[in-house]
Amino acid sequence: MSTKTPGDASAPYDASRLAGELQASIDRGELRPGDQLPTTAALAAQYGVNKNTISKVISGLKAAGVLTGPAGGRTWVRVRPQQVKRHNARYLREKVEVLLPEEERAGYGVAEADSGMSVHSLHEAVYLYEVVPGPDDIRAILGVTDEDQLLRRTFTRRHVAKAGASCSTSYLPYSLVSQNPDLLDADREPWAGGTMHQLYTVGVELDRIEDRVVASMPTPEEQRLLDIPPAIPLLRVRKISYAVGGEAVEVSDIPLPGDRAELIYTTPLERWK
């Protein structure tokens, strides 16, 4: 990184020039994704500016998605997130593949559909299964009784080290999935064929999937976990799977940061005769 001797008035640094210097260092590879920046005090001394100038520069580069880190904490060069394209045509493929042999089902899932990456090439994939009462709005959609429990499945993935995570939370009626004890075992993830095949093992065929999408700002925890720059909203996808009998059998909540997600919906139209 280029430096300036404190007190050298021949080339004073202001916020704009300092931001450009840091950006150039990243572009040249002198600061790489995941590298931690010196402290505010150290940068102020290095460039001969006050701490407020450093803070302003760092805030601006965080807003631009160049740097990341919690307010008041350490800062590092942001690892660029994996771009996501979520296409509803995937559901047609997933249903067809339910009836295929396991080795064929195993080659395609959420990671492949959304990002084009194999789930086996991810840096991290964490699967958490819990039996819980579940939120009231989810229970209402699934039509469960007051005595019924839900299986909550939380999936968290990172495509490379230090990148923001992608995640989803899925709810299924415990009385349904417990008919196959394998469906209660997180160690069996990633499941070849995903949820459609899991439901198939307990006699459920899906008739349709409904995606409901709204936008809102992330919570502080979501901003940290997903590594979302300030002022970037979340696209919140609520995916509801309905069986051929008309009942909802799964509800998934999928938060997609607006700086990396594209939603693609294709509606086949019947041709005029």
DSSP string, 136-161: HHHHHHHT--TT--EEEEEEEEESST
pLDDT above 50 for 1: no
The pLDDT of residue 11: 58
Q: At what angle do helices 40-47 and 51-63 cross, to 10 degrees?
A: 110
CA separation for the pair 182, 161 (Å, rounded): 30
The pLDDT of residue 5: 43
The 10s digit of each residue's pLDDT in 102-148 is 999 988 878 777 877 777 788 999 999 999 999 999 999 999 999 99
CA separation for the pair 192, 198 (Å, rounded): 9
The pLDDT of residue 6: 42
The pLDDT of residue 99: 95
Q: What percent of the chain has pLDDT over 90?
A: 82
CA separation for the pair 197, 178 (Å, rounded): 15
Residues 176-200, mean pLDDT to the nearest whole number = 96
The pLDDT of residue 96: 93
- Using CB atoms within 10 A of its CB, is residue 73 exposed (0-12), middle (13-18) or buried (19+)? exposed
Average pLDDT for the chain: 92
The pLDDT of residue 73: 86
Per the model's pLDDT, the better-predicted residue between 9 and 48 turns out to be 48
Which residue reads 């084009």 in tokens? 116
Instruction: Using DSSP bridges, classify how beta strands 166-173 and 248-257 pair: parallel, antiparallel or unpaired.
Output: antiparallel
Write down the CATH number for the domain with range 15-77: 1.10.10.10
CA separation for the pair 212, 253 (Å, rounded): 10
Write down the CATH number for the domain with range 84-264: 3.40.1410.10
pLDDT above 70 for 2: no
Residue ranges of the domains in the chain?
15-77, 84-264
25 in helix, strand or coil? helix
Lowest mean pLDDT among 2-16, 66-80, 158-172, 190-204: 2-16
**Count of H-run helices and E-run strands, the chain:** 10, 10
The pLDDT of residue 20: 93
Per the model's pLDDT, the better-predicted residue between 6 and 44 turns out to be 44
pLDDT above 90 for 264: yes
Per the model's pLDDT, the better-predicted residue between 9 and 113 turns out to be 113
Q: 84-264: same fold as 15-77?
A: no
